[in-house]
């Protein structure tokens, strides 16, 4: 399959470059800029894209363009720092800008260019350095008010540089620029489709598993469900799915998992209700990191016990997706502080003896959904609202009890039901949910003074979940949600709406 290799110099938006290329139905992979040459060249790439990054190319020790990229003779597109690194490598000159440029800008295309449409267009800039002299053989193809050299081109060698970021949504024509580079300039074939993904993945899984037995832990989430469905397509009855209900799922989800996988998919399914086990382990715990650690460890042990009962299996299916892989191998972005512990990052304990099968390892979330639909999974499962691995534990702030979980579960269902009724799910909100706060306040119900808990409603819009904005829900919808929660959820007398974007906040509260 034709491939574009993307070298990551530490940009926060490198994954978006890969997503935009994939959206053009061209396969690509994202590598650290210093990944071994043989690893990248083994894919026989049709071209290279060099990402942005936080460094200054003229500083000692700054990341540079690998020699094999320049020696390959293949098309190259440098973006922001990638453009500056390409310029530096080819003997142009880069220097600090007298005025950094961050945010929206307008470029003017100066010459006919195969990569850029003629005229003026809005773009997104984020740089403190700029090109002062292009490399020999390059001409200036675009400028902006603050960047006299906003794009450069060497059409003879098919080498291009963009000072702006075409991958972000703030550059409206950026997706087409990346498509043009991949398809028109690199001549990559449009082979990356849901059907081809299913076909290639099934072949790969068959080879890996052979005639051995395999188990899959399923949660009802789209990742684990699609991973199990792909393996089921590949090896059939060699797969056993294990569903552990920790008592931390949303309303109706345990039943939906059994129906979707056991009845619709026809998979061999073992369903275990471990609510009491998890709640006992979480008793008195309030710290969010402790909650995540306890839930992760307990899940592994409960799952392991059920796996042993199911019979000896050599392989374990894991729903790792491409962003997990990229983040674990990304170059230093100089922002190494841990935000939160992810339930599926860090691998399995050394005493859990399985070989991993990761059928989604090279897929983004939107690609996982497309594959799920191609496999025939129900839309209700494929488009399930994103849900954290530790479940309602990270939306039930403070101590977790059966009573508080019931309270949260009802409130959350009200939020989803009202948004569904108003036609505001999927296209209008990427994620929406209720959060139960350990904050009590005074209220009045039926002429009686109350002292009860607070529910926060969170709804966000986002294309990639790397950034998000709070959803501007219609006031009548918020009013209905609030009215229903305080009337239908015992122990709650106040509802608030979270109007914080990501960043500075995260989407989840814990």
Set 28, 165, 453, 510: catalytic member? 165
Query: Of 481, 510, 488, nearest to 416 (Cα)?
Result: 481
Distance between CA atoms of residues 307 and 305, nearest Å: 5
How do beta strands 151-154 and 268-273 pair? unpaired
| Cross-strand bridge partners of residue 451 | 442
Query: Of 394, 405, 370, 365, nearest to 195 (Cα)?
Result: 370
Distance between CA atoms of residues 362 and 201, nearest Å: 10
**Strands, sheet with 355-357, edge to edge from the N-terminal-most edge strand:** 268-273, 239-245, 214-218, 315-317, 355-357
Specify whether 25 is catalytic.
no
Please count the CA atoms within 13 angstroms of the CA of 120 that sit on its side-chain side: 4
Specify whether 241 is catalytic.
no
Query: Of 97, 79, 94, 53, nearest to 171 (Cα)?
Result: 79
Set 29, 101, 167, 253: catalytic member? 167
Q: Which helix (H) or strand (E) holds 27?
A: strand 27-32
Burial of 433 from C-beta contacts in 10 A (0-12 / 13-18 / 19+): buried
Distance between CA atoms of residues 358 and 94, nearest Å: 42
DSSP conformation letters of 196-248: HHHHHHHHHHHHHHTT--EEEEE-SSHHHHHHHHHHHHHHGGGEEEEEEE-S-
Report yes or no: 25 and 193 within 8 Å, Cβ to Cβ.
yes
Specify whether 28 is catalytic.
no
- R_g of the chain computed on alpha carbons: 25
Task: Return the residue matching tokens 């290329």.
Answer: 21
Report CA-CA distances (Å) from 60 to 56, 98, 146: 9, 21, 26
Distance between CA atoms of residues 244 and 216, nearest Å: 11
Q: Is 343 left (phi over 0), alpha (psi -120 to 50) or beta?
A: alpha
Set 28, 80, 241, 396: catalytic member? 80
Distance between CA atoms of residues 188 and 4, nearest Å: 8
DSSP conformation letters of 326-376: HHHHPPP-S--------TTSS---TTS--EEE-TTTT--HHHHHHHHHHTT
How many residues are listed for the chain in this entry? 510
Active-site residue list: 80, 165, 167
């Amino acid at each position: 399959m034709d491939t574009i290799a993307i070298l990551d110099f530490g940009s926060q938006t490198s994954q978006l470059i890969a997503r935009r290329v994939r959206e053009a139905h061209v396969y690509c992979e994202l590598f650290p800029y210093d990944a071994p040459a043989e690893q990248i060249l083994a894919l026989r790439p049709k071209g290279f894209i060099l990402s942005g990054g936080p460094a200054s190319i003229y500083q000692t020790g700054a990341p540079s363009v690998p020699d094999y990229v320049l020696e390959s003779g293949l098309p190259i597109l440098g973006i922001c720092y990638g453009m500056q690194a390409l310029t530096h490598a080819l003997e142009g000159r880069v220097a600090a800008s007298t005025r950094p440029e961050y945010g929206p800008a307008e470029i003017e295309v100066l010459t006919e260019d195969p990569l850029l449409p003629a005229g003026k267009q809005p773009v997104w800039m984020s740089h403190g350095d700029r090109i002062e002299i292009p490399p020999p053989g390059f001409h200036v193809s675009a400028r902006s008010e603050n960047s006299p050299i906003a794009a450069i081109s060497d059409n003879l060698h098919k080498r291009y540089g963009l000072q702006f970021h075409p991958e972000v949504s703030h550059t409206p024509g950026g997706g087409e620029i990346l498509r043009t580079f991949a398809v028109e300039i690199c001549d990559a074939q449009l082979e990356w489709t849901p059907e081809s993904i299913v076909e290639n993945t099934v072949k790969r899984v068959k080879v890996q598993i052979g005639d051995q037995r395999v188990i899959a832990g399923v949660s009802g989430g789209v990742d684990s469900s699609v991973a199990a469905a792909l393996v089921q397509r590949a090896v059939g009855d060699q797969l056993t799915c294990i569903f552990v209900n920790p008592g931390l799922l949303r309303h109706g989800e345990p039943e939906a998992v059994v129906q979707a996988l056991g009845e619709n998919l026809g998979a061999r399914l073992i369903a275990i209700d471990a609510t009491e086990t998890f709640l006992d382990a979480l008793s008195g715990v309030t710290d969010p990191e402790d909650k995540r650690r306890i839930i992760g460890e307990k899940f592994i042990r409960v799952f392991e016990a059920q796996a042993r009962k199911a019979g000896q299996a050599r392989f374990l299916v894991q729903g790792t997706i491409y962003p997990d892989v990229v983040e674990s191998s990304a170059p230093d972005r100089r922002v190494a502080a841990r935000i939160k512990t992810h339930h599926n990052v860090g691998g399995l304990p050394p005493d859990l003896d399985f070989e991993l099968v990761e059928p989604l390892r090279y897929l983004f979330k939107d690609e996982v959904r497309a594959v799920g639909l191609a496999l025939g999974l129900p839309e209700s499962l494929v488009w399930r609202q994103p849900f954290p691995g530790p479940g309602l534990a990270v939306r039930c702030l403070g101590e977790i009890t059966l009573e508080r979980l019931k309270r949260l579960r009802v409130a959350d269902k009200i939020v989803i039901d009202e948004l569904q009724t108003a036609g505001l799910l999927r296209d209008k909100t990427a994620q929406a949910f209720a959060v139960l706060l350990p904050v009590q306040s005074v209220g009045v119900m039926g002429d009686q003074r109350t002292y009860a808990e607070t529910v926060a409603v969170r709804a966000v819009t986002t294309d990639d979940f790397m950034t998000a904005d709070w959803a501007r829900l219609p006031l009548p919808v918020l009013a209905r949600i609030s009215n229903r929660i305080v009337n239908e959820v015992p122990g709650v007398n106040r509802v608030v709406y979270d109007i914080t974007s990501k960043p500075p906040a995260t989407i989840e509260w814990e």
